[in-house]
Chains A and B, each alone.
Chain A
């Protein structure tokens, strides 16, 4: 396993693409968060805005870059034919996918942690100027606050789980552009469905089962009992999706010729 890990790590760090994608994911996550924090305002006490949730809007953009990063780790090998060498060196498909998962998770965290921290810093600097002040009931965002910490650390985990979901799907479809299409279709479908489905039962169920919707529950800090799904169970639903995708990808990897 450790040699497979080392091999995957070498493949990842010796091409320029992943490095730039990691940087891009971090920058875009912070940038969209900063723009959103600048756009949202709180006019009076009790304006009901979930400040950490606003500060983490950038994750919705960052997840697209993370998905590309994870999909390319598999897709590029098929594109270049490297996969045959890889499988010759590591015949066990499970070990290979496991090693790839660890490396992809590490690379994603390397993007997610600075991205989320950047979002926190941007929100801390910008939001007090937009009415999120003590008079309106908003303390400056602090990572020592339990709910805020859960939202920010959970968002890093969210991005990691999205990367693993993408990796599994990429192993299943074996083509990078198609893989990105499937992942983004899945992630961005939920909010669009929620906009057209007005039956409250349907809407609730959608929020509970769609990967991006359920997973994003981790970013909520206020009014938790009224959420369709709690923060940690929500992230758990996303983890199930990721696990399911990895199992499917691993199974197809095992059953098919490269």
Chain B
């Protein structure tokens, strides 16, 4: 087998055009990264983000703006409150953008509460946006939730209206209750000891509807405002005689946000305001994987090589010599697949690394952040995707024995489903299915933007979200390749060369 691999490697490297092809694939990939980086005009967070975005302690860009009625809390303490009512309504019907089609009338939305309108208790390290916090809240349509440090979200009882936060040392524990007597523990989270702010808050993300039309997507919507009514507020452990004061957290970052207000009547507090305490979704803004979109071009070039690697033998008659030297045709196919896969993986690895480095150098950090592990995954994943797709091209070339048709088949199988799904031709549900069953599913290895269950957003292919997890999508491509290789091996054995 080693001799066989060496023979195939010799065949590959002794054709100058194929080596040039590998070079062209790598150059195209870097070139597209340059275009993608230079042609970026959007910001992380899309139109919602204005000014500099705060980051949570783990580096996730976040929204941190809400109406906060608070007292200082120096040590241990217990806060309890009943959320008498919460409403979060769109301020005005959604207005269609210039290129978007007319949205349906917004009257129905006005009547319903925004699903992620929030009202509840929060203990926060300070009033600076991005500082750590633990909160328990009633939401518009997601029941009671305990959330901490933006990215963590724990579901609590659905119909509870009484909320309690207990701070003991470095831990904050959240409870919820329907009657104020029997308490259910929702969860607990660490929070550094020392002086913090504690109190009640309301927030609601803007009202948004995601429109998809041919060739693009648009977000229509407008501001929303939440009104929360609180009573039975008690705060054991807060400074003696400390007055409740209102802070509009993060108001400087978003000048267009509706103004925060709070009124107190006896023991009843009414808070109004907008904003959100949540991670930003990366769908609308620039993403790191855009720098690797040249993978499509590299893949097209290398698919041609993969097809030629076998059809040229038929064209030149070399295949008869090959089979005379190695009568086991399956082993010849295996050797070809190994050589082709290894060479194109190496080319893909170099090209993807270069594309990411060059693109990042041009664009700077203006994209949704991805940690080192994710960056390694998208680079190695892109290289693996290119390698396996090239082997798929080899198998289809063996099956069809006609180069032109085989190249078209590979490109159409991999690129066209992606275009139809990501360029928003197909509706989201159909696009999700297409990206589950076609080889284009493998592009999931390039996804860097996470999906947040606690943030409403169209998690669709048009916004860069794949239906399958990274390596799950890659496995779909591997399955296609495995089946094609089996069919190719069977036909190779049955047919005369």
Contact = CB atoms under 8 A, between A and B. Distances in A.
Interface string A23-41: 0000000000000100111
A249 B376 CA distance: 42
Contact of B39 (A53, A72, A202): A202
A188 B290 contact: no
Contacts of A65: 408
Interface size, A (range)? 35 or more
Interface in A90-121: none
Contacts of A75: 403-404
Contacts of B36: 196-197
Q: Tell me which of A44, A184, A199 has the highest count of chain B C-beta atoms within 10 A of its own C-beta.
A: A184
A43 interface: yes
Nearest to B397: A177
B411 interface: yes
A133 interface: no
A57 to B, nearest CB: 6
Contacts of A47: 101
A118 B311 CA distance: 34
Contact of A188 (B296, B405, B406): B296
B293 A192 contact: yes
Interface in A47-79: 47-50, 53-54, 57, 60-61, 64-65, 67-68, 71-72, 75, 79
Nearest to A46: B102
Contact of A60 (B38, B293, B420): B420
Given A36-B426, A49-B101, A197-B36, A188 B415 contact: yes
A175 B403 CA distance: 9
Contacts of B300: 181, 184-185, 188
A200 interface: yes
B311 A226 contact: no
Interface in B18-63: 32, 35-36, 38-42
Given A68-B404, A176-B404, A185-B301, A43 B104 contact: yes
A180 B404 contact: yes
B432 to A, nearest CB: 11
Interface stretch (B4-12, B239-247, B302-310): B302-310
Contacts of A197: 35-36, 39-40
A194 B407 CA distance: 24
Nearest to B314: A79
Interface residues of B, number: 51
Contacts of A139: none
Contacts of A49: 101, 213-214
B468 interface: no
A14 interface: no
B303 A188 contact: no
B479 interface: no
A198 interface: yes
B412 interface: yes
Given A48-B100, A50-B214, A72-B404, A195 B422 contact: yes
Q: Tell me which of B98, B99, B403, B406 has the highest count of chain A C-beta atoms within 10 A of its own C-beta.
A: B403
Contacts of B426: 36, 39-40
A188 B416 contact: yes
Contacts of A195: 290, 293, 422-423
A191 B213 contact: no
A240 interface: no
Contacts of B423: 191, 194-195
A194 B101 CA distance: 20
A68 B315 contact: no
A75 B420 CA distance: 29
A36 B40 contact: no
Interface string A208-247: 0000000000000001001000000000000000000000
Interface in B76-113: 98-102, 104
A143 interface: no
A178 interface: yes
Contacts of B42: 198
A168 interface: no
A223 B406 CA distance: 38
A179 B301 contact: no
B411 A226 contact: no
Contacts of B369: none
Q: Tell me which of A67, A177, A180 has the highest count of chain B C-beta atoms within 10 A of its own C-beta.
A: A177
Given A79-B315, A192-B293, A199 B416 contact: no
Interface string B265-304: 0000000000000000000001000100100110011011
A68 B404 CA distance: 6
B430 interface: yes
B333 interface: no
A162 to B, nearest CB: 12
Nearest to A185: B300
A193 B427 contact: no
B416 A196 contact: no
Contacts of B416: 60-61, 64, 188
A189 interface: yes
B166 interface: no
Nearest to A48: B101
Given A53-B214, A195-B422, A200 B41 contact: yes
18 contacts: A36-B420, A39-B427, A44-B104, A61-B412, A64-B411, A79-B315, A175-B403, A177-B406, A180-B403, A184-B408, A192-B415, A193-B35, A196-B35, A196-B36, A199-B40, A202-B38, A223-B99, A226-B98
